[in-house]
Amino acid sequence: MNLQQLLEAKIKEAFFSLYQIELPAVEFQATRKEFEGDITVVIFPMLRFLKTNPEKLGNDLGAFLMAHLEEVVRFNVVKGFLNIVIADGYYLDFFKNIKDNPTFGTQPVTTDSRAVMVEYASPNTNKPLHLGHIRNVLLGYAVAEILKASGKKVYKTQIINDRGIHICKSMLAWKKFGNGETPESTGLKGDKLVGNYYVKFDQEYKKQIETLIADGKTEEVAKKEAPLLLEAQLMLQKWENGDTETVALWKMMNGWVYDGFEVTYKSIGVDFDSYYYESDTYLLGKDVVEQGLAKEVFYKKEDGSVWIDLTDEGLDEKIVLRSDGTAVYITQDIGTAIQRAKDYPDVGGMVYTVGNEQDYHFKVLFLILKKLGYSWAENLFHLSYGMVDLPSGKMKSREGTVVDADDLIADMAQTAKEISEELGKLDGYSKGEKDSLYNTIGLGALKYYILKVDPKKRILFNPEESVDFQGNTGPFIQYTFARIQSILRKDQNSSYTLPSIVEMHEKEKELIKQLQLYPEVIQQAASSYSPALLANYVYDLVKSYNSFYQSVPILAEIEEDKRQFRVQLSRKVGELIQSSFKLLGIEVPQRM
């Protein structure tokens, strides 16, 4: 039972003992800095159940707590707020209980709970991963890890969009202009090579449009009749009909892209338990439409197309099958979700990490699956996120103006190098040690900058700002961790038992209060699917630690008990920084 739960139970007991009234809930908040106290009870909501003076009620409750809880040593009442001072012994006991627990804050997977499937990445195989994908995979991976830490069994998956006209555009451009180039012959990663031909297609397509317009065609007609587009459409038809040559080209070029993706995923530090491919799933869902018609979830129009009417739920009518019998995108998503539930029978919910431009799509998808009667459909969540912009503006894949993920990772390491050298922080390191550290700092800066922002918010990503060694940044937190490791190396005393009584400094108490929040923050981040809660928690923890570090001596403390207590407190803070950052997919360096 944590402090808040302990106090709530005792305050409810006090309310009944003093007034014979059962109080349904107690509201707490942090004590304001200008008042003495460790936690504050808000009195005003209680006045709905008892007509009295709020200050008198606060004093009555404070006196009861003093008499019945040894943890409460003092209290004061300011208007409608009861500020409670907790005994140092309570915080010391708490710290004793967690200091040697390496898994503090995380929960073991409960065998009776249903698993959660988290989908992220979902790239197209016509281009390399870019900055937008980075936000996607970082969010999805972090949410999956946080859900695991909260006690859930998690499967990480992705759907690879490996078919369609956009894939054929890259294939056609390579066939026409590639002269047999391969990743091996060019030295390029496969996804980059294929992406270059997607850009090449767009360039040649635009030239053809200009020629047709010059010949008197309207722009609209020119876009439809450009020979290159017609050839791409024909190539898609050949692929769908299983043409041997087209399928062989598709397999070869997609293979190049998959190899390239894996290199990028490894660089970013994310992984997956399973892969789904649109080429395997695009026909799924059509049989579900027949079942939905039988259940009267769907209805058929005169032209033979199949729809669902969601107007009663505040949405529109939605087509799920065209009149020619071909599926639409949402039909495929319906079928894929059902297939995943079959493949993983213990799945009780799914999280889709997809940009906010698909908000409406997922509202419709989730509602359809509920209406079809799938129990797990009650636990579907769209992890919607905003776009990532750069100071230079919006990115466009077909014009070749995207920020390539691999290039960005390399640029972040270079930025970390430049700033570190300017600050002169890495004297005495070998070149290999420096390069490894630059990568750790640069990637940590990138990940933290993105994950500290609420997923729903749009981000303007500034690489140099993210690598600042001060403020709410990854490198600032990494540097604090490295500082703690330096203290531990100098102390070299790992067999220490805390004394039974230590007079605590207020900064020590504040730090332990921050440690107490960790389990709750993990649960909140999991339930809200928001890594930002965890990222900002660890920043607050680091700020509290640095305030402690500046206020009290640690290794220079002459009293052995105090010195060792502060070293052990530092060690635990370091463990929680490392634990938090691991859930966010961020490494921490031992030295900086």
Would you say residue 6 has pLDDT above 70? yes
- Average pLDDT of 92-101? 92
CB 322 within 8 A of CB 332: no
- Phi–psi pair at 506, nearest 5 degrees: -60, -30
Q: How many CA atoms lie within 13 A of 83 on its CB side?
A: 13
- Packing angle of the helix pair 405-423, 431-451 (nearest 10 deg): 110
Q: What percentage of residues in the chain have a pLDDT greater than 70?
A: 96
Distance set, CA 138 to CA 21, 144, 563 (Å): 49, 10, 39
Q: What digits encode the pLDDT tens for the residues 498-529?
A: 666 667 899 999 999 999 999 999 999 999 99
- Packing angle of the helix pair 560-583, 531-551 (nearest 10 deg): 160
Find the radius of gyration of the CA atoms of the chain. 30
- C-alpha–C-alpha distance, residues 123 and 261, integer Å: 9
Q: How confident is the model at residue 396 (pLDDT cuts 50, 70, 90)?
A: very low
* pLDDT computed for residue 464 by the predictor: 84
Q: In Å, how far from its chain's centre is CA 339?
A: 25
Tokens describing residue 331? 């039909």
The conformation of residue 451, written as its DSSP 8-state character, comes to: H
**Quick one: CATH architecture of 405-463+471-583?**
Orthogonal Bundle (1.10)
* Partner residues linked to 74 by β-bridges: 85
Q: Could you tell me where the beta strands, DSSP code E, fall in 361-402?
A: 380-385, 388-389
Fold of domain 3-86:
Gyrase A; domain 2 (3.30.1360)
- C-alpha–C-alpha distance, residues 503 and 485, integer Å: 25
Start-to-end CA span in the chain (Å): 39
Would you say residue 123 has pLDDT above 60? yes
- Average pLDDT of 215-232? 96
Q: What digits encode the pLDDT tens for the residues 265-303?
A: 999 999 999 999 999 998 888 889 999 999 999 999 999
Where, residue-wise, is CATH 1.10.730.10 in the chain?
405-463+471-583
* pLDDT computed for residue 423 by the predictor: 74
Distance set, CA 252 to CA 168, 236, 319, 505, 558 (Å): 13, 16, 35, 66, 69
CATH class of the domain at 115-285+327-389: alpha beta
Would you say residue 400 has pLDDT above 90? no
Where, residue-wise, is CATH 3.30.1360.70 in the chain?
3-86
- Packing angle of the helix pair 131-149, 244-268 (nearest 10 deg): 60
The residue behind tokens 């946080």 is: 146
Where, residue-wise, is CATH 3.40.50.620 in the chain?
115-285+327-389
Instruction: Indicate the pTM of the whole model.
Output: 0.91
DSSP H or E stretch at residue 319:
strand 317-321
